[in-house]
Chain A
Amino acid sequence: MWNASCNVCHMGILRLSHVDITVPDLELAAAYYTQVIGMTITERTDDRIFFKCWDERDHHSLAVRYHPRLGLDRFAFKVEHDDDLDHYESRLEAVGTTVDRVADGEEVGQGESIRFKLPSGQEMELVRDVHKVGHALPLVNPRPYPDGLIGIAPPRMDHLLLHAEEVPEVAKFFIEHLDFRLTEQLLDAGGHQAIAFLERSHQPHDVAFAHGPNGAIHHFSYWLDDWDHVRRAADILAYNGISIDIGPTRHGLTRGNTIYFFDPMGTRNEVFTGGYRPDPDFPTITWTDERAGRAVFYYEGVLNERFQKVHS
């Protein structure tokens, strides 16, 4: 967006910052997310653990909180400037959305933020100042990646998929009030939007919504650089006895290569690579109902029941 006061342009919402989930077993979560995924723990409190991927410089991209049931506490997007928080707060309040301010010091690992409920029931957060802890490489003469990486070791978090009873309503909310762009959609037999893919970071999606119960999370996804790394991830998942949902396979939507799998407590994870770089004037791609199978699983051509029913 354009900030008239300083005559420079800035991006507003940049990218997915972190996903905050609940887990029934903190120690099992710590073991899985460090040893199998290969994230590092940056901070622990009595009931929470904060993780980051090796190439991430911010304090955390995943936070888990102890709770007897699985679920999503919230997810956060990163904005470029402090005044982006004021900007989106006033726009959201103007359309009747209640916005809560979280003061600097109230939340672990980050400064001031705003939180609000989506029409689909999930809590979303916008934050500018996630504390910089640095990535795992020096800033002078670095090697391409650190030695001794464990597990899948993705460089960063990529996107998440949520459920909504009314996908068009929440997609419209993201486009009109949060300046996201619609890259792809799946229409059901009645022409109703069943899946919507939305981006801010010039990739096929930063967040997506699929028809399902309000408040639910379908999965969050880690970036890998290469199809070969997807194969290696499958090897690591199999070796560790992780429940693989599907893959390695390809999505028709986003054109990415993927594996879906479940963490030991039941939250679906994904590793993802590929896709494309959409400009802001990118024309939306539409998938029709009779190709819904290929849209989601391009090789199999059919949706499995797990994809449509299992969420957390």
Chain B
Amino acid sequence: MNRPTHEGILRLSHAAIRVPDLELAAAYYTEVVGLIETDRTPDQVYLKAWDEHQHHSIILESAPTYGLQYLGFKVSDRSELDRLAKRVEDASTPITRHGPGELAIGSGDIVRFMAPSGHVIDLEYGQKQVGSALPLVNPPPAPQDLVGMHPPRIDHIFLMCEDVDGIHDFFTEVLEFRLTEQIKADDGHQLAVFLERTHTAHDIAFVTGPNGAFHHVAFWVDEWGDLRDGADMCAYHGVNLDVSPMRHGATRGCGLYFFDPAGNRNELFTGGYRFDPDDKPTTWTEAEMGRAIFFYEGKVNTRWLEVHS
């Protein structure tokens, strides 16, 4: 009944994360985070959050190291995929095109390229739909058999790169993202940028650091109280908790940082605001960077600045 749309990039779709111990990582992401396994191969485990309809939002990839293999954005239509592919090519960025199922189980049509930040990005249309964990007739508010933190969905991804100004221009000019917030150095260059397509505070963010580095992937939870439950879950399972429930200045959201067994940082995130395309971005000055990241502490810890995967 619903009609085609032409909205370009809709939202963050998935992240493929490298882990040296696939079984350990799979146990963590299903039992502690509470994602649902949808498929597996000898080298991969496919996961989705309970309220997601798509086949996967996290793919664990067996690898000798940790980090981000690639990330994917969901595109509204096939014609939008073609249009965006041309924009990426016109920006002198080589692309490859892949048919359904070619790059991952359940994948749709994909345009793949490497962003100037050194991250592999997929634009995808038509990932296999497997349905959420609820019926489409008279559903309860949530399934009754959820375990772990059980966030309803993936929310955003946070990456590092050397040239934040450059990646800001690439995302806004080529991929049609909008800048919601930025941290500016005293000399005027951007230390961090927050970018959105979903009218939220951010779908992706970049902070100064090594190209290709993965800072964290965040899962949405509905309430501040869910962050407390998440922290309880981390403590009970002996998960390496990075930062206890806290408030971000930038995005105004509240979060909880912790590490998966391979050392990739995860976040539970809630709050934030709704951003119109004609709204002006918020700026944080270098002197206030501490409050921008950790509003209560007022300073950034070394781990946050230096530990990535």
Contacts and interface: CB of A to CB of B under 8 A. Distances in A.
- A and B from one assembly? yes
Interface stretch (B93-101, B235-243, B279-287): B279-287
Interface string A215-254: 0000000000111100000000000000000000010100
B42 interface: no
Contact of A279 (B11, B142, B276): B11
Contact of A225 (B131, B153, B271): B271
B243 to A, nearest CB: 17
A142 interface: yes
A141 B277 contact: no
Interface in B166-195: 176
B5 A202 contact: no
A227 B223 contact: yes
B274 A15 contact: yes
Interface string A168-206: 000000011001011000000000000000000110000
Nearest to A139: B282
What band does the interface of chain B fall in when counting residues whose beta carbon is under 8 Å from A?
35 or more
B5 A182 contact: no
A228 B220 CA distance: 17
Contacts of B53: 279, 281-283
A176 B2 CA distance: 9
B223 A298 contact: no
Interface stretch (B22-30, B76-84, B207-215, B260-268): B76-84
A286 interface: yes
A25 to B, nearest CB: 32
Given A140-B282, A201-B199, A280 B141 contact: no
9 contacts: A15-B274, A132-B278, A141-B249, A156-B274, A181-B2, A226-B270, A277-B220, A286-B138, A298-B141
Interface of B: 1-3, 5-8, 10-11, 51, 53, 74, 76, 79-80, 83, 87, 129, 131, 136-142, 152-153, 176, 198-199, 220, 222-225, 247, 249, 252, 270-271, 273-274, 276-285, 288, 291-292, 295
Given A7-B87, A226-B225, A283-B53, 14 more contacts: A1-B6, A2-B80, A8-B8, A11-B7, A14-B199, A140-B284, A141-B285, A141-B292, A175-B1, A228-B224, A279-B10, A280-B76, A281-B53, A286-B136
